[in-house]
Amino acid sequence: MQLVFEQLFGGEGAPETLVELTDYKPEEEDRLYIESVAGGVREHAREIDETIAPCLRGWTLDRLSRVDLAILRLSVYEMRYAGLAAGVSITEALRLARKFSAEESCPFINGVLGTISRAQAAQA
C-alpha cells in the first residue's frame, strides 16, 4: 500500500522504496509479488479508478484522501487482476485503513469495496 501511495505523488513505487521507508527487506518471493502488484496498479490505474469512481456515492476520486485511494486501488487490483478473493482483499484493506487512515475511513472503504465485489460477482 505504501508503494501505491508513493505512486500517487509521482514516485515509482519500487520495492527499494519500501526498504528505505520501513527497513523491510523482502525475500525474493515477496519482492516479486510486491513488484507485480505495484506495477500492476500503476499499469491499470485508469481502469481501477473507473471501477472505483461510480461507487463513491457523493464523493469524487479527487476528494478522497490519498491513503484511502491507495488502499482502494490496491484492493481493486487484487480482486480484479490478481485473482485474490474479494473477502480476503477487503479484510486486508480494512486492516490497512485502521492502521494508516482515519477511523471513519473503514466503513467508507468497506462500502465501496463491497459494492465493487458484488458488481464483479454479478458479472461472473
Residues 42-64 have pLDDT tens digits of 999 999 999 999 999 889 999 99
Q: Is the pTM of this model over 0.85?
A: yes
Confidence band for 13, pLDDT divided at 50, 70 and 90: low
Cα–Cα distances (Å) from 123 to 49, 61, 86, in that order, read 18, 24, 14
- Split into its structural domains, the chain has a count of 1
Q: Which residues span the domain enclosing 17?
A: 2-123
CA dist., res. 79 & res. 88, Å (int): 9
Residue 12 has a pLDDT of 62
Which pLDDT does position 25 carry in this prediction?
74
For the chain, the average pLDDT equals: 88
Name the DSSP class of 57.
Answer: S
Q: What is the CATH number of the domain that holds 67?
A: 1.10.940.10
